[in-house]
Structure 1
Amino acid sequence: MEIRLPTRRERLRAQTVREIKAIARTHMAAEGPAAISLRAIAREMGMTPGAVYGYFDTRDALITELITETYNELADQEEAARDAVPADDPAGRLVAVAMAYRRWAVTSPDEFQLLYGDPIPGYQAPTDGPLPVAAHRACAMLSDLVAAAWPRARTVQATGEHRWEDFDPALARQVRQAHPELPPDGVGLAVRVWGRMHGLVALEVYGHLASLTTDPAKLYRAEMADLARSLGSATGASA
């Protein structure tokens, strides 16, 4: 089978797209995601705005690609951490994912803000295409881990608190298709797990723990160890 190599034109286009995204990330690091502007990028590259629009027809298209890439980068790291723990230890896997999530967030605060910070003024995320698929990877992974832990977790969790109508219909449909054995309380547990994974990380990234602790990693490990116990496991958290 003959392998088709990219043409010079295609290579130059790919290089320009990479440069546009790199400059956008630089602007985002300096002033936040709201600072991303195709006109500002064009000025820095010595291009006309019309030329840049030939690569991304709107600012939202560029932002969507940056968010999609960031979700996939995060999911890659979380999946690698998950797969390093045996499949028969779902609570341990969940803790490993949580620790990978924190490491990513504290080393990539600008990307964290892009995904989980204030909404970017005027930006409308697409409801189909690569972005929802990328965002679903992390959500599906968490649901899978909670479903695997549920047989043990339900012995230490209150049951009967939730109904399917308590949750977004699309989320409920997704979970019921992937894990028909998981009850609504399992979905509630997954949302609460996400809240515990995310809460201390957000406080740390935005500087709210600086006056409270000299070792936020230790605090987070303790929280994740307690999370594992809440799933019916004695698994501890490792850095």
Structure 2
Amino acid sequence: MKEVVPSRRERLRAETSREIKAIALKLMAESGPDGISLRAIAREMGMTAGAIYGYFATRDDLISTLISDVYTDLVDQMEAARDSKREDDAGGRLLAWGEAFREWAVANPQGFRLIYGDPVNGYQPPEGGAAPEAERRACLGLAGLVAVTWPDAEPTQSNVNHRWSDFDPSLVAMFRESFPGLPPAAVALALRVWGRMHGPVALEIYGHFAAQTEHPAKLYRAELLDLLAALRVPVPEKRG
């Protein structure tokens, strides 16, 4: 099959679109999420407001595209880190997923804030969300890692009587379709694992660890290792 080469016009349009998104994240870093404005971006790029609307019809369109791009990039990196470990290495795969999450967040703090932190005033996401596919992949990826640990972790999770009705119906449907036979307590465990990964990273990204430690990566790894112990998952051997 003959390779389709983008035309010069298509390449220029893609390049301009990338520049618009980069400036939007820069404005967010400088002024918070409310700093994202098509007119402000147009001024910085030396474009007219009318010209920039040819790329993104509204600010909400731009924000939705940013969220989708950023979230997809995060999930790509977490999946790649997970898949770099053997399938029978449950601890190594879970550790790799968690560490990739933190590494991405530290390298992309504005992106982290956009998808996990600061709400954008007046923003209305499209029906189904701004990044439904990336969100689905992230959810199923982590749930799959937890599902593998369930046979060993189950005895430690029996002190709370969870029901399917405790959780969002769409989450339940996705979980039951992908991991049939697992109980509601497994969903609760997946959410708790996510909370233990997300919490320290959020504290670091928002500067709450800055005065307390110069080594947040050590704290985070210790939290992940403690998590593996709680799940009764063997800790992978450190190589090299």
Normalised to the residue count of structure 1, the TM-score between the two structures is 0.93
Please, which runs of 5 or more residues in structure 1 have no aligned partner?
none
Query: What corresponds to 1:17 in structure 2?
Result: 17
Query: What corresponds to 1:123 in structure 2?
Result: 123
Shift of 1:163: 0.4
Q: What amino acid is aligned across from residue 164 of structure 2 in structure 1?
A: W
Query: What corresponds to 2:234 in structure 1?
Result: 234
2: CA distance, partners of 1:84 / 1:207: 31
Tell me, yes or no, if structure 1 residue 141 matches structure 2 residue 141: yes
Q: Deviations over 1:3-31 (max 9, x none)?
A: 33222222221122122112112212222
2: CA distance, partners of 1:29 / 1:15: 21
1: CA distance, partners of 2:133 / 2:43: 33
Query: What corresponds to 1:219 in structure 2?
Result: 219
Shift of 1:238: 6.5
Matches within 5 A, 1:143-222: 143-158=143-158, 161-222=161-222
Q: Is the 8 A contact 1:68 1:135 kept in 2?
A: no
What is the aligned residue count?
239
2: CA distance, partners of 1:77 / 1:55: 27
Q: What amino acid is aligned across from residue 63 of structure 2 in structure 1?
A: I
Compared with structure 1, are the counterparts of its residues 153 and 52 closer, same or farther at alpha carbon in structure 2 (3 Å cutoff)? same
Q: Deviations over 1:88-121 (max 9, x none)?
A: 1223311211111111112221111111112111
Q: Is the 8 A contact 2:91 2:236 kept in 1?
A: no
Q: Is the 8 A contact 1:92 1:228 kept in 2?
A: no
Q: Is the 8 A contact 1:228 1:236 kept in 2?
A: no
Query: What corresponds to 2:2 in structure 1?
Result: 2
Q: What amino acid is aligned across from residue 64 of structure 1 in structure 2?
A: S
Q: Is the 8 A contact 1:56 1:62 kept in 2?
A: yes
Residue 156 of structure 1: SS of its match in structure 2?
helix
RMSD: 1.9
Aligned sequence identity (%) = 57
Q: Is the 8 A contact 1:225 1:236 kept in 2?
A: no
Query: What corresponds to 1:83 in structure 2?
Result: 83
Q: Is the 8 A contact 1:150 1:186 kept in 2?
A: yes
Please, which runs of 5 or more residues in structure 2 have no aligned partner?
none
1: CA distance, partners of 2:173 / 2:63: 28
Shift of 1:142: 0.6
2: CA distance, partners of 1:9 / 1:80: 33
Query: What corresponds to 2:38 in structure 1?
Result: 38
Residue 120 of structure 2: SS of its match in structure 1?
coil
Query: What corresponds to 1:95 in structure 2?
Result: 95
2: CA distance, partners of 1:178 / 1:237: 30
- The runs of 4+ residues in structure 1 deviating greater than 4 Å are 236-239
Shift of 1:159: 5.6
Q: What amino acid is aligned across from residue 227 of structure 2 in structure 1?
A: L
Q: Is the 8 A contact 1:72 1:134 kept in 2?
A: yes
Query: What corresponds to 2:109 in structure 1?
Result: 109
Q: Is the 8 A contact 2:106 2:205 kept in 1?
A: yes
Between 1:11-20 and 1:97-106, the stretch displaced more is 11-20
Q: What amino acid is aligned across from residue 201 of structure 1 in structure 2?
A: V
Q: What amino acid is aligned across from residue 55 of structure 2 in structure 1?
A: Y
1: CA distance, partners of 2:170 / 2:181: 17
Query: What corresponds to 2:57 in structure 1?
Result: 57
Residue 155 of structure 1: SS of its match in structure 2?
helix
